[in-house]
Structure 1
Amino acid sequence: MTTTWIIGASSGIGEALAFELARRGETLILSARNDKALTAIAGRLDGEGHRTLPLDITDAKAVTRAALEIAEVVGHVDRVLCFAGAYTPMKLGALDLKEVRQIIETNLLGAFNVTEAALTLLKAQGRGQIALCASVAGYRGLPNGQPYAATKAGVISLATSLRAEHGDGLDIKVINPGFVKTRLTDKNGFEMPMMVTPEQAAKAIADELDSKRFEIHFPKRFTLLAKLLSVLPDGLYFRAVKRMV
């Protein structure tokens, strides 16, 4: 039986993945700040033995305590999947710096907090998987994408370093979705091509969690185009994205 800790499970991709993995027979530990939402979700999941563990990933000590609690109470965990995230559309030159700090603390520092706690938990077991959710927005800087894109670039870099340092003993993955219909993307005021539902995203992720790939990205038609755009020479790249300004 696979035991999976999903952080950021109260909404969006994390919530949808909880239902998908429960249908596939996994036992889940669900974390997010919203305890009420977690309890409601846990009560609707297939299977038994699911737990909730309310958590704010910006609190490093709380994340460490949560990992220790899992080790003591559950005994082991096979996967640690981090989907907690924050997003507010902003343009450089007109940033809400208080909001910028909150996004950085959630998306990037939160990912570091989860990584350190997960390493302590999984290295003690000698096995396990850590998957961090970034975004295709982190492939290369985009107009109107700050500070979100910068934090997701940081998460991609973090996951890459993590794979290089610990990939021999642990399964490390980065998850880079395209546009997914969530409360975060609902904030956007522009057309989002090839958008998928959280349920479609969850299936795409679940299908590849046990693969040997480092990166899980979807939908492929969109993410492959994003990859191509990201490797263009500087002059061509800036010409291509100028229309987004």
Structure 2
Amino acid sequence: MSGPVDLAGARVLVTGASAGIGRATAVLLARAGARVVLNGRDEGRLAETRAALDGEGHRTAPFDLADGDAVPAWLKEQATLAGPFDGIAHCAGLQVGKPVRAVDQAFFDQTLHANLLSALALARGFRQKGCHGPRGAMVLVASVAAFIGQPGNVVYAASKGGLVAAARGLAMELLRDGIRVNCVAPAMVETEMMERFRRTTTADQFAAIRAAHPMGFGRPEDVAAAIAFLLSDAARWINGVTLPVDGGYLAQ
């Protein structure tokens, strides 16, 4: 990749690499020169992503991040196998909308585990000795939902709001380890997750959501470009921020 985003030789873990933003991020990072470790639960789909990457030295590492307590040891194992990581792009997540009247503990726990606890577990693992290089970076994928009021989306919004707050705390706590932590906050992006969300709404509701995006829906590559920038040395003095990647959604 030409320009200031140069990741030549960097080793980067991408979670949620089976599809959507995670897959687009892996493709872009490889094009920028990184060696990418692809994480997700579906080994077949990870292999498809691997086949789309430029360059050499990429690996698949299937693992379910839902087991937060097991994540640090798993990350240590990955670093032992092929060397420490220079960056983590945490793109895995869960989006299911439910009105408050339908929220139960199981749904709450599932959403918070997928969207918040997994990030904290990765941070715990990344800061371990031997797991990160001298200058490391984490980018967490939050959402504009963290900043707006939206009926039927309270638990998801709370999980992403927690992720934004956690990134600020982690940015200060991991600074002593040489690790920067930032977020991106996309609006609606054309992914399989968006298609599943569309099927839960009426045509009129979805049309209203589309109209709320001044520049239309985003593409996974739009978010991937912001992630690549924040992982690179071009962003070496950026820490603890959340970058909206939303086509002007929050500007209204």
Shorter-normalised TM-score: what interval? 0.7 to 0.9
Tell me which amino acid in the other structure corresponds to 1:128: G
**2:222 equivalent to 1:200:** yes
Deviations 1:118-164 (A, max 9, x none): 12257764431111111111124432212110100110111011112
Name 2:118's counterpart in structure 1. 110
- Contact in 1 for aligned 2:76/2:131 (Cα 8 Å): no
Name 1:221's counterpart in structure 2. 248
- Contact in 2 for aligned 1:6/1:83 (Cα 8 Å): yes
**2:77 equivalent to 1:69:** yes
Q: CA deviation at 1:97?
A: 4.6
Q: 1:50 to 1:123 in 2, by over 3 A?
A: closer
Identity of aligned residues (%): 31
Name 2:11's counterpart in structure 1. 3
For these two proteins, the number of residue pairs brought into alignment is 225
Task: Provide structure 1 residue ranges, at least 5 long, that are not aligned to the other structure.
Answer: 226-245
The residue correspondences of 1:94-243 to structure 2 (distance < 5 A) are 94-95=102-103, 97-120=105-128, 125-167=133-175, 169-186=178-195, 187-188=197-198, 189=201, 190=206, 191-192=209-210, 193=213, 194-210=216-232, 211=235, 212-213=237-238, 214-225=241-252
**2:55 equivalent to 1:28:** no
Name 1:237's counterpart in structure 2. none
Q: CA deviation at 1:166?
A: 2.3
Q: Distance in 2 between matches of 1:53 and 1:20?
A: 18
Q: Distance in 1 between matches of 2:124 and 2:227?
A: 23
Q: Distance in 2 between matches of 1:34 and 1:121?
A: 29
Q: 1:127 to 1:208 in 2, by over 3 A?
A: closer
Deviations 1:163-185 (A, max 9, x none): 12223522211111111111222
- Contact in 2 for aligned 1:205/1:216 (Cα 8 Å): no
Question: What secondary structure does 1:147 align onto?
Answer: helix
Name 1:235's counterpart in structure 2. none
Tell me which amino acid in the other structure corresponds to 2:244: H
Deviations 1:20-46 (A, max 9, x none): 111111110010111111112112211
TM-score (norm 2): 0.82
Moved more, 20-29 or 187-196: 187-196
Moved more, 27-36 or 207-216: 207-216
Q: Distance in 1 between matches of 2:45 and 2:24?
A: 13
Bigger relative contact order, structure 1 or 2 (CA pairs below 8 A, ≥6 apart):
2
Question: What secondary structure does 2:184 align onto?
Answer: strand
Tell me which amino acid in the other structure corresponds to 1:205: I
Task: Provide structure 2 residue ranges, at least 5 long, that are not aligned to the other structure.
Answer: 1-8
